[in-house]
Amino acid sequence: MNHPYRWVIVAAGGLLGCVAAGSMFSLPVFLRPMAQETGWSVTGISTAMTIGFLAMALASMVWGGLSDRFGPRPVLLAGSVILAASLALASRAETLIGFQLLFGLLVGTATAAVFVPIMACVTGWFETQRGLAVSLVSAGMGMAPMTMAPLAAWLVTGQGWRGAMLTLAVIAAALMIPASLLVRRAPALAHDDTQPEDGGPQGGMSVSTAVRSPQFAVLMLANFFCCATHSGPIFHTVSYAVTCGIPMIAAVTIYSVEGLAGMFGRIGFGIAGDRFGAQRVLVLGLLAQAFAVLAYVFVGRLAGFYAVAMAVGFVYAGTMPLYAVIIRENFPLRMMGTIIGGSAMAGSLGMSTGPLLGGLVYDRFDSYALMYIGSCAMGLAAMLILMTFRPFPRRGMQMAAA
């Protein structure tokens, strides 16, 4: 499938992912200004992010199933509207629990409505260069630390956290709603979404068989531990750098360096996955990620943070798109939203562990060291789990569906 419009899908997906991810991951930038202005604890504000990831987990398969049934455009449009509205409402929250629910529950739900359908849609548009295409969409998401995070930091210094969050809501609506309208369902599914076979891998498999398969279980577990590995470091590294004496504006640039390295990582891992196999490249990436996050324990100056952030960003960002590639290689196109949604659900559950546990570790020990050590252990677990993955036999299609 070489329709030129597929690259429009990639561009729209990258923009949608950048704004959605950037809006949700702006919370680390707001963390200390919010705590100082409101008196809310670091753990309490961090819990909003945990709730957000739990909401993403619960919503991922639902949004994915809806995109399989109705196509990606209405789901993306709904997610864009909900995201903008929830940011605006969260900016007006007067209580901690109100903020946790508005930012966590609604922003998390809306972000899932963007991530899952666009990744499923892109895998359907590409039969060749699939790893590169998925990685480019993911690279758009990786632009968030270099665009949305500095923007949020600049807005906070001039408008306070409430004004900055409201401005982000306006930006999200202005960019995401038009981009959603550009997205189309893959041509292979556009004319007949009810067909039982799609001619792809395991074409006769039912959804119930797919979600009960060992392959699906392994991918979910690996993604859970993979995301648990980097969730704490992503969320708390800016705060950690500030505790080391680095000014906030400089600390935010660590996040940006990580995002810049992540762009190269996503593209590099995508090309490597197309050439050497997505699973092989992902296993090596998970091993590298485990030791990269551990390196944060040994830095305390800005230059050291930059060096580690480059390694962490390159590796963790590079690994993430490869799950969608492995799924597309093993499951039917017509259920991509559901299966990618299940994987995203597991990843979101893993991401939910870092903000809360990192906040608890810091509040209890006045140090983030144990968080990074625990992250390394979870990274090694993710690698070992993925090593057990066995692709479906190419000639076992009918037997697998029975």
For the chain, which domains are there? 6-184+202-394 (1.20.1250.20)
pLDDT value at position 186? 76
- Alpha carbons 148 and 81: distance in angstroms, whole number: 18
pLDDT value at position 321? 83
pLDDT digit string, tens, across residues 131-175: 778 878 877 777 776 788 788 888 888 888 899 999 999 999 999
Average pLDDT, the chain: 85
Which two three-digit tokens encode residue 147? 């665009």
For residues 264-269, give the mean pLDDT: 87
Residue 77's Cβ-count burial label (10 Å; 0-12, 13-18, 19+) is middle
Q: Is the pLDDT of residue 56 over 90?
A: no
Lowest-confidence segment of 114-128, 195-209, 272-286, 349-363 by average pLDDT = 195-209
Which two three-digit tokens encode residue 99? 């903020």
User: Which residues are CB-contacts of 285 (< 8 A; sequence separation ≥ 6)?
Assistant: 269, 315, 318, 319, 322
DSSP-assigned states of every residue in 183-230:
----HHHHS-TT-S--SSTTTT--HHHHHTSHHHHHHHHHHHHHHHHH
pLDDT value at position 394? 62
pLDDT digit string, tens, across residues 166-216: 999 999 999 999 999 999 887 766 554 444 344 455 557 788 888 889 999
pLDDT value at position 402? 41
Which two three-digit tokens encode residue 60? 């991922």
